[in-house]
Amino acid sequence: MDIFSTLQEDKSRLSASESRIAEIVVNDFEFAVNASIIELAERAEVSPPTVTRFCRRLGCESFSDFKVQLARTAHVGVRYLKPESKSHAPSDVAQDIITKAQNALFLLHRSLDLTAIEAAVAQIARAEMIYAFGSGGNSSMIADELQNRLFRLGLRATSSSDHSMQLMMAAAAKPGDVIIGSSFSGRNAELVRAFALAREGKVRTIALTQTDSPVASAAEIVVPIDLPEGTNIYRPTSTRIAYIATVDILASLVAYAIQPKALTTLRRIKQQLVAHRDGDDDKQLLGD
C-alpha cells in the first residue's frame, strides 16, 4: 500500500493539525520530500512531535521512513494530482505523455481485478477458438493485439473490427469458443449485441472495458479497466497503454497456463523468422 492511498483513506481519521500536514504534503510534494521534520512542522504550524505522530498514523516507522515511502510512490503517483503542463514544447509534451502513461500503469496496477483475470485466463487457455473483437481504431488495435499474442501460443485465434463480421462470427461460434471484446468507452452497442448473441449459443464472453458500462453488463467475465481519461482531445494514449499492458498480462498468464504447448509453438515461429531473415542474429524479436 502506498502513502497516497493511505492518505486518501485515512483522511477522516486525521486531526486538524494532521490534516494541515497532509495538505502540505499533497500540494507541495517537492517541499515535503526535501524538508526536515522541523521545516515541515513550521510550515504546517504544528510541533515536530505532531509530524512524527502523523507519520506513525500513516503506518510509517518514523519520519524518515515516511519521506522514503513518499518519495517512492510519489514519483509515479503524485503527478496526476498536478495540473498538466500547458507548454507545447517537444520536451514538455514528451514528458507529459510519458508521465501520463506511467500514471496509467500505476493506476492500472492498483485497480487490477485479479480474480476476473484468472477467470478469463482459464477460459482462454481451454478455448477451442478465440475471437477478439474491437472497433474504432483503439479497440481494434487491442483486438489485433490479442490475436497477435495468442496465436503465438499455439491457440486458435482471430480478430475482427468489423461489426457485421463480429455478429456473424458470434453466431457461428460454438460452445467451447471464447469471444473477447474490447471497448474503451464501454458503449459499443454492436459489441453488446455480439455478446448477447454469443451467450445465447453458450459461447463464453470476456470484456475488457469500463465497469458499469453496457459492454460490461453484456459479458460473462469482465476484466475492468477504469482510468480517468485526460480531457485533452489530442491524447487518448494513457488508456491505450493500460489496455496493452492488460492484454500482455492475460497473454503471459495464458502462456504459463499452457506452458509446453506454447513453448514449442514459439520456438517454431522463431525458427521460421530467423531462417527467413539473416541467420547470424538470434537476438531479434518474435515478429519484428
Q: Taking CB under 7 A as the criterion, which residues in 251-270 touch DNA?
A: none
Q: Does 188 bind its own copies (CB under 8 A)?
A: yes
- Identity of the residue, 19 or 226, whose beta carbon is nearer to its own copies in the bound complex: 226
Alpha helices in 138-276 (DSSP H): 138-151, 163-172, 189-200, 214-218, 237-257, 259-276
Please enumerate in sequence order all residues whose Cβ is within 8 A of that of 55, keeping only pairs 6 or more positions apart, or say none.
62, 63, 65, 66
Within 10 angstroms of residue 189's Cβ, the number of other Cβ atoms is 12
CB of 1 to DNA, least distance (A): 19
Judged by beta carbon, residue 42 or residue 229, the one nearer its own copies is 229
- Name 130's bridge partners: 157, 178
Which of the listed partners (its own copies, DNA, none) does 74 bind, with a CB threshold of 5 to 8 Å by partner kind? its own copies
Binding positions for DNA, 59-88, rule CB under 7 A: 61-65
Q: How far is the CB of 249 from its own copies (least distance, A)?
A: 5
- Applying CB under 8 A, does 251 fall inside the site for its own copies? yes
- What's the CA angle centered on 245, arms 239 and 249, to 5 degrees? 145
- Does residue 45 belong to the site contacting DNA (CB under 7 A)? yes
Q: Does position 67 bind its own copies by CB under 8 A?
A: yes
Of the candidate spans 16-24, 109-117, 120-128, 254-262, the one that interacts with DNA by CB under 7 A turns out to be 16-24
Do the Cβ atoms of 157 and 143 come closer than 8 Å? no
252 sits near its own copies (criterion: CB under 8 A) = yes
The helix/strand/coil state of 87 is: coil
According to CB under 8 A, which one of 95, 158, 211, 217 is a site residue for its own copies? 95
Min CB(8)–DNA separation in Å: 18
Q: How far apart are CA 72 and CA 66, in angstroms?
A: 10
DSSP H or E segment with residue 180: strand 178-183
- Extract the C-alpha cell encoding 173: 461460434
Ranges within 22-51 binding its own copies (CB under 8 A): 33-34, 36
Q: Which is nearer to its own copies, 174 or 268 (CB)?
A: 268
Binding flag, residue 18, DNA (CB under 7 A): yes
158 contact, one of its own copies, DNA, none, CB 5-8 Å limit per kind: none
Q: What are phi and psi of 150, to 5 degrees?
A: -80, -35
CA nearest neighbour of 286 among 109, 123, 152: 152
Nearest CA to 208 out of 127, 104, 112, 110 is that of: 112
Decide whether 172 or 239 has the Cβ nearer to its own copies.
239
- Distance in Å, CB of 75 to DNA, minimum: 20
**CA–CA distance, 152 with 251 (Å, rounded to integer):** 10
17 interacts with, out of DNA, its own copies, none, CB within 5 to 8 A per kind: DNA
Q: Which residues bind DNA (CB under 7 A)?
A: 15-18, 36-38, 45-53, 55, 61-65
